[in-house]
């Protein structure tokens, strides 16, 4: 939400300024906010000037991390609901996030200018779900400037000044709640001045690392960076201090005056990656460039976990952990758009928790309970005493006509219904407990397509619960292809195995002998198919000129074979792996 009022004119009202805060290409294309942005404005209310700091946060649950970081620096939140679409699944999640942070929530309906806007209906939803009285709910059209003043004034009236939590007379203490990297200035740190006043030239120390820096520049975001000489208690702004490593600007860190003793502020919970995907360069030569691109993106997104992974078939790459699916999509899209990196993304997987059995194996893993994200590290069956998989509570809001189809979908994904109630006359809010691995691949797409795009979905983490997880192996003529092994729930292994076998049959080139493709869990063969041997492959004519041409081709093929991954005598081209492993 961007205020429009001649009073501040922070942003001009013209068509060029459509998405001022959503700067990233991916944000503008998808119409979403990925990266929290801030803007500071001054408002004159009843003869008094108020400085308001606005943080625009992502709405999607994947970015809960961003949201919670921002909430920690805020005293109030505007719960913005589209007057056409009504309450979305993510509205529910974000409401509770603000609610548990005990900050003031101001419900606002946006886009009331649109033809299909139904403010009364949406207000009813807000009443049913969150117990907001319809009188509390404000209505705005940001596009036309309707109701903006009321929102600003409601903020001034309802949201308390940060002074209660702050002490302007104490030595300066700063909460770092976001940072990004500027190649010239180093890390740009977005901070809340909790105590004291920050001035240019101040020497400040990180509680986390103990390193000290001299503040080079500081300012507020209007939303462009605007230098100011000092930042006062309770103000949100940025500073740069020639911080050259992004790791030194950790979100949640407390900075304080170099000499002063300081009690660090409560940091944020570290982000917990829930969805993992392999990222490989399409061409191994691009590995260094991709590495640089990933590092660069991670500077601004500390929630991505990075570990090096090498696959015999795909080469050197990384296993990246993301907060959720959208997060993964957005990250990879940014890799491609902002860095021009051509990448292969493997099918997303989730972490599993395994309780081990047997002294030797426990010693080997170093502990009794291990988190496994890579099938190749899955312990032997007889070393496992219990397997666990992550579950989520999924919230679906849908017009009631799609109820049957949605129940069908959730059940096929091992979902267990938790609750269902009416949101209004035509809409339902349904909650399902679902295994995370059932939703990471295509659940959202399936939901969207069976509800013609009307159903919305969001989920929250429920943690690990016992579940029968097995390792599904793919065999070519009896030999396991480790790159194709996957972890799956026992009831899904057969279907998954069949799919992989069929895909292999389509993409693995015929060879000189028959190939048996099998999917197996332990010694049990769950699916099987065959590829017949090639029957004719020989040049028709081979005389004078043909020989040169043929030799050229043969040399190329021979070169190709050298690079080909062999399983027994079976050659598996990289394209086949890509086809099976990619998302």
Partner 1 sequence: MFDYLSVRSTFSLMKVLHSIWKWHPIKVGSISITHVHTLSNEDLKKAEQRLSHATLPKSYINNGSVYVHWPYCRQRCSYCNFVKFIPHPNSYWTVQDNTLEHFMVKELEHSLQHSYITNVKSVYFGGGTPSLARPQMIEKVLETIQAVCSLEGNAEITLEVNPTSFETNKLKDFKSVGVNRVSIGVQALDETSLRLLNRDHSVPEALHCINIAKQLFPGRVSVDLIFGRPNQTTGSLVKELETILSFCDNHISLYQLTLERGTKLFNQHLSGEVKVPSADQMADLYEVAVSLLGDSGFKRYEVSNFAHGCSAESVHNKSYWRGLQYIGIGPGAHSRVVPKNTIEKNNVVYNVYSSKCSEQDKMWSGSRIYEENSFNPTIQLSKNFFSCTIREARVNAADPANWLREVQIKGSGVRKVTAQTVLDIVSEYMASGLRTSEGITAEKWSMFLPQISLFDIFHERTLWLQESKLLCVSKQGLKATSIGLNVLDSILPYLLNILEEKFI
State which residue, 260 or 564, has the beta carbon closest to partner 1. 564
Given candidates 128, 513, 574, 581, which one binds partner 1 under the rule CB under 8 A? 513
State which residue, 189 or 531, has the beta carbon closest to partner 1. 531
Alpha helices by DSSP H, listed for 340-389, are: 359-365
Q: CA angle at residue 456 from 102 to 77, to 5 degrees?
A: 20
State which residue, 258 or 532, has the beta carbon closest to partner 1. 532
Was 107 annotated as part of a binding site?
no
Residues 179-218 that bind partner 1 (CB under 8 A): none
Helix (H) or strand (E) holding 180: strand 173-182
Was 111 annotated as part of a binding site?
yes
Was 261 annotated as part of a binding site?
no
Dist. CA 451–CA 430, nearest whole Å: 14
Helix (H) or strand (E) holding 548: helix 544-563
Do 547 and 449 form a contact (C-beta atoms < 8 A)? Answer: no
Was 59 annotated as part of a binding site?
yes
Helix (H) or strand (E) holding 195: strand 186-195
Was 382 annotated as part of a binding site?
no
Beta bridge partners, 343, equal 281
State which residue, 258 or 555, has the beta carbon closest to partner 1. 555
Dist. CA 175–CA 265, nearest whole Å: 7
Residues 298-357 that bind partner 1 (CB under 8 A): none
**Nearest CA-CA partner of 373 in 394, 392, 389:** 389
Minimal distance in Å, beta carbon 577 to partner 1? 20
Minimal distance in Å, beta carbon 527 to partner 1? 24
- If binding is defined by CB under 8 A, does position 511 make contact with partner 1? yes
The tokens of 195 are what?
């105590």
> Which residue do the tokens 């806007």 mark?
117
Q: State how far the alpha carbon of 204 is from the alpha carbons of 140, 180, 269, 275, in Å.
A: 42, 18, 24, 37
State which residue, 115 or 541, has the beta carbon closest to partner 1. 541
Minimal distance in Å, beta carbon 514 to partner 1? 10
Given candidates 512, 522, 530, 575, which one binds partner 1 under the rule CB under 8 A? 512
> Which residue do the tokens 């009896």 mark?
478
Show the binding pattern over residues 532-561: x = contacts partner 1 (CB under 8 A), - = does not.
-xxxxxxxxxxxxx-xx-xx--xx-xx-xx
Do 410 and 434 form a contact (C-beta atoms < 8 A)? Answer: yes
53 contacts: CB under 8 Å, gap ≥ 6: 38, 39, 40, 220, 235, 236
Was 482 annotated as part of a binding site?
no
Minimal distance in Å, beta carbon 519 to partner 1? 25
Stretch that binds partner 1, among 107-115, 223-231, 294-302, 527-535 (CB under 8 A): 527-535
State which residue, 261 or 562, has the beta carbon closest to partner 1. 562
Give the annotated binding-site residues for GTP: 56-60, 110-113
Give the annotated binding-site residues: 56-60, 110-113
Give the interface with partner 1 as residue ranges (CB under 8 A).
511-513, 533-545, 547-548, 550-551, 554-555, 557-558, 560-562, 569
């Amino acid at each position: 939400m961007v205020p429009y009022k001649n009073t501040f004119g922070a942003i001009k009202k013209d068509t060029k300024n459509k998405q001022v805060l959503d700067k990233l290409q991916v944000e503008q294309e998808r119409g979403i906010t990925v990266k929290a942005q801030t803007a500071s404005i001054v408002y004159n209310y009843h003869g008094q000037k108020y400085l308001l700091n606005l943080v625009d946060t992502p709405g999607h649950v994947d970015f809960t991390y961003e949201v919670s970081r921002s909430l920690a620096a805020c005293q109030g939140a505007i719960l913005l609901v589209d007057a056409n679409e009504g309450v979305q699944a993510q509205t529910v999640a974000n409401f509770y996030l603000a609610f548990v942070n005990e900050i003031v929530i101001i419900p606002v309906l946006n886009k009331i200018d649109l033809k299909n806007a139904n403010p009364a209906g949406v207000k009813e939803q807000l009443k049913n779900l969150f117990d907001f009285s319809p009188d509390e709910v404000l209505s705005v059209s940001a596009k036309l400037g309707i109701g903006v003043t009321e929102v600003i004034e409601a903020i001034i009236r309802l949201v308390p000044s940060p002074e209660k939590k702050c002490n302007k007379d104490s030595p300066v203490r700063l909460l770092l709640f976001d940072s990004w990297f500027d190649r010239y200035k180093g890390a740009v740190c977005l901070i809340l001045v909790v105590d004291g006043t920050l001035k240019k030239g101040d020497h400040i120390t990180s509680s986390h690392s103990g390193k000290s820096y001299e503040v080079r520049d500081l300012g507020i975001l209007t939303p462009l960076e605007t230098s100011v000489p000092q930042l006062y208690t309770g103000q949100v702004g940025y500073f740069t201090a020639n911080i050259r490593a992004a790791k030194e600007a950790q979100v949640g860190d407390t900075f304080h005056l170099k000499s002063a003793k300081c009690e660090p502020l409560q940091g944020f919970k570290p982000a917990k990656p829930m969805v993992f995907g392999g990222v490989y360069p399409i061409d191994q030569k691009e590995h260094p460039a991709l590495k640089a691109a990933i590092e660069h993106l991670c500077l601004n997104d500390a929630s991505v976990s990075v570990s090096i992974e090498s696959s015999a078939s795909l080469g050197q790459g990384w296993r990246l952990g993301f907060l959720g699916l959208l997060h993964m999509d957005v990250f990879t899209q940014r890799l491609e758009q902002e860095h021009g990196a051509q990448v292969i993304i493997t099918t997303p997987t989730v972490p599993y928790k395994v309780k081990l059995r047997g002294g030797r194996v426990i010693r080997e893993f170093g502990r009794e309970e291990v988190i496994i994200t890579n099938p190749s590290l899955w312990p032997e069956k007889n070393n496992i005493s219990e397997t666990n998989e992550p579950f989520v509570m999924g919230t679906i809001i849908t017009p009631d006509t799609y109820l049957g189809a949605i129940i069908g979908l959730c059940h096929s994904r091992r979902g267990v219904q938790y609750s269902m109630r009416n949101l209004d006359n035509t809409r339902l809010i349904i909650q399902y407990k679902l295994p995370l691995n059932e939703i990471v691949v295509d659940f959202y797409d399936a939901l969207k397509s069976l509800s013609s795009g009307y159903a919305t979905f969001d989920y929250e983490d429920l943690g690990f619960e016992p579940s029968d997880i097995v390792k599904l192996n793919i065999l070519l003529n009896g030999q396991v292809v480790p790159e194709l092994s996957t972890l799956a729930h026992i009831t899904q292994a057969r279907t998954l195995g069949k799919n992989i076998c069929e895909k292999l049959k389509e993409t693995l080139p015929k060879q000189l002998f028959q190939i048996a493709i099998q999917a197996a869990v332990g010694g049990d063969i769950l699916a099987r198919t065959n590829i017949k041997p090639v029957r004719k492959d020989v040049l028709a004519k081979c005389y004078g000129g043909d020989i040169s041409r043929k030799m050229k081709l043969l040399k190329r093929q021979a070169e190709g074979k050298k690079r080909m991954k062999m399983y027994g005598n079976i050659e598996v081209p990289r394209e086949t792996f890509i086809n099976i492993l990619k998302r």
